[in-house]
Amino acid sequence: MIVYLDGDFLRQEEAKISVADRGFIFGDGIYEVIRVVNGNFFREKEHLDRLKEGLEGLKIDFDPSEKAKIPEVSRELLKKNNQLTGEATVYLQITRGAAWPRTHTFPEPTVKPTLYISTDTFIPHTELHEKGVDVITLSDVRWKRCNLKTIQLLPNILAKQKAAEAGVNSAVMIRDGVITESPNANIFAVRDGVLYTFPASNYILNGITRQTVIELADKLQIPLKETPIREEELYDLDELFFTGTTTDIQPIIEINGRRLADGKPGQVVKKIRKAYNERMYG
């Protein structure tokens, strides 16, 4: 496995970052995960735009000419790893860079941010998409800037681990009585033929898959409201599903041990999944 670190293509075992890197010390950085099908990047521009927003949000001063090289470098990396055919993912991470001594304020003078890129082969979770998954509800204890895709993922990790220990696939997170998202995906609900999802704001990551589903809903003439779903409405919904780059379109059929509707993926999620797959693989 070859990875890219600050200008060099290296074997994964040889790629090393400084112990002073602020990503390591503070979790001071951002990331992206992009799907690739036969060398085609799915919604690359949207991912790179969000990366830019993240850099601005964290005030990381990343050289625009370095950023411009990311698409080419990612393709070169996929090539080196023989991943230009079939399915793959690209992981991009930028941290504020290595700075010593450890101080919470930004390094003065500014240091060069660290750019890390890795790729991996990918197998879609087709069986889960067809059968649907079970979830538990958990409190969303994250900070109030969830729109930034930062590498600080502890609340997400702990939530996902809690779900795993409860023997279920994932968690539906609740803040102030409404459903926000899952630790690694956005959530849509269906009630009386209308799609509902939490509005794009600082309380969720505005997923690229979420944005794609909103576009597809419009095309399919499925009415959509960016209105949060209340916790007490959960069990009365007709359908509920996750959306995400590695999750794809994943129906939820059981919440806290209670079956949702008839316990099978519904018609709306099936329609959306079909349209999404056509968009990705078409």
Q: Which positions lie near ligand PDD, rule CB under 6 A?
A: 33, 156, 181, 184-186, 205, 207-210, 243-246
In angstroms, what is the minimal distance from the CB of 50 to ligand PDD?
Answer: 7
Q: Catalytic residue among 59, 80, 149, 160, which?
A: 149
Q: Which is nearer to ligand PDD, 169 or 245 (CB)?
A: 245
In angstroms, what is the minimal distance from the CB of 276 to ligand PDD?
Answer: 11
Q: How many CB atoms lie within 10 A of CB 244?
A: 20
Q: How many CB atoms lie within 10 A of CB 133?
A: 20
Q: Which is nearer to ligand PDD, 111 or 213 (CB)?
A: 213
How many Å apart are CA 155 and CA 275, to the nearest integer?
32
In angstroms, what is the minimal distance from the CB of 110 to ligand PDD?
Answer: 28
CA-closest candidate to residue 265, choices 256, 254, 257, 275: 254
- Tokens 């979830």 locate to 135
Q: Which is nearer to ligand PDD, 178 or 261 (CB)?
A: 178
- β-strands 133-139, 170-175: how paired? parallel
The string of DSSP letters for 125-186 reads -HHHHHH-EEEEEEE----S-TTS-BS--HHHHHHHHHHHHTTSSEEEEEETTEE-EETTEE
Reported as type and span, the H/E element at residue 243 is: strand 239-244
In angstroms, what is the minimal distance from the CB of 169 to ligand PDD?
Answer: 15
Residue 149 annotated as catalytic: yes
Q: Which is nearer to ligand PDD, 48 or 237 (CB)?
A: 48
| Residue nearest ligand PDD by beta-carbon distance | 207
Which two structure tokens, joined as six digits, stand for 104? 């919470």
Task: List active site positions.
Answer: 149
